[in-house]
Structure 1
Amino acid sequence: MEKIMPLSIALATDKLPEKGSLIITATDGGKLGALGKQLDKKIGGAISKAMKIKKFKGKPASMFALLAPAKSDLDRIVVLGVGD
């Protein structure tokens, strides 16, 4: 028998969530939005470093996920490319 896990989705405004998984956006050229920049700074540039290693450019419908580093209470960070 499969176990069904509860799912909760919340749209962030200007505050980073304290736990769970987080989806942030990046535009063409790999530019993070305000929350993405805030989180990247909080976790010591881990998102920027991963974007550079993966050569992530923020093209529409592109994405990658990384496990959140120990400096964060998040589980996973997903970066979603949205283009211009």
Structure 2
Amino acid sequence: MKVVKQPVDMIAYFNVEGVIMPLKFRLETEDKYLKTIKVLTILYHKEEKIAGNLIRTYACTIAQDTLEKPCEIKYELNSCKWFLFKI
């Protein structure tokens, strides 16, 4: 997987335990086109501390161009920002 760390717009929900679960996200392509990508499955999620920031990391598979691809999405708890970290 390649590290991209691209900010994304996310649609997510909270499960019963209060954990945020991503559903789909929108990112801007190189030609300034907005592309919506659906999260198919979440393999695991973990919480970590990087440079003093609490970050929740999600390893999941996404549907992109009729293919299933693995990716890693990160959510910064302090700033409430989502990033597509690896694809």
Of structures 1 and 2, the one with the larger relative CO (CA 8 A, separation 6+) is 1
Larger of the two Rg values belongs to structure: 1
TM-score using structure 2 length: 0.30
TM-score using structure 1 length: 0.31
